[in-house]
Amino acid sequence: MQFTFDNSIPILERTPSVLRTLLNNLADDWVMSNEGPATFSPYDVVGHLVHGEKTDWVIRIRRILDIGTAMAFDPYDRFAQYEESKGKDLMQLINEFEQLRIENLNWLKSLKLTEADFDKKGMHPSLGEVTLKNLLATWVVHDLTHIAQITRVMAKQYKDEMGPWTEFFRILSF
């Protein structure tokens, strides 16, 4: 499937409600467990998404549109949520994510981007030149990847309880 702005926006709009529906009022065993050292729990993923809404997507879009490749994007701190989420419960994070996402998408839609805009380039600090289309497609895949990550981490909580059925569930072997 090729990128289109109109096909991307609904995914980005739905992510907060998907997370709210999936995670609301679950026991900590579901939302605070991870896959081991240096991995994210569902709680951590939501904090990571909040951080991205504040420091990544919109800032990089602006940089592409305003200065192109003249200055590389700032490196993204993939683990900043560990500090930024301290003292917040999961629903606070989901609410914050939802509000930031609404604001960011309203801003993005207000730009009235053209096909020519999607080909504008920016400079990623390690990947080199990227287009606005690349960035927006990555934003969508980033959301979907983290939804899959959350469900994988949650599924693994019952792996040892499934007995022989584990062989039928590929999600448990990633």
Which CATH number belongs to the domain containing residue 76 in this structure? 1.20.120.450
Q: Is 72 helix (H, G, I), strand (E, B) or coil?
A: strand
The pLDDT assigned to 120 comes to 98
pLDDT averaged per 10 residues, the chain (length 174): 97 98 97 94 97 96 97 91 92 98 98 97 97 98 98 96 94 87
Domain containing residue 83: 5-173
Helix axes 132-156, 42-55, angle to 10 degrees: 160
CB 98 within 8 A of CB 16: yes
The distance of Cα 91 from the centroid of its chain, to the nearest Å, equals 17
Residue linked to tokens 């994988």: 152
Q: Are the C-beta atoms of 44 and 32 separated by less than 8 Å? A: no
The reported pLDDT for the residue numbered 129 is 98
Domain count, the chain: 1
3-state secondary structure of 14: helix
- Show the tokens assigned to 111: 């730009």
Structure confidence at residue 174 (pLDDT):
78
What pLDDT score does 4 carry? 96
pLDDT of res. 79: 85
Strand (E) or helix (H) holding 152: helix 132-156
List strand residue ranges (DSSP E) for the chain, in order. 121-124, 128-131
Global pTM reads 0.95
**Would you state the pLDDT for residue 80?**
87
d(CA 68, CA 70): 6
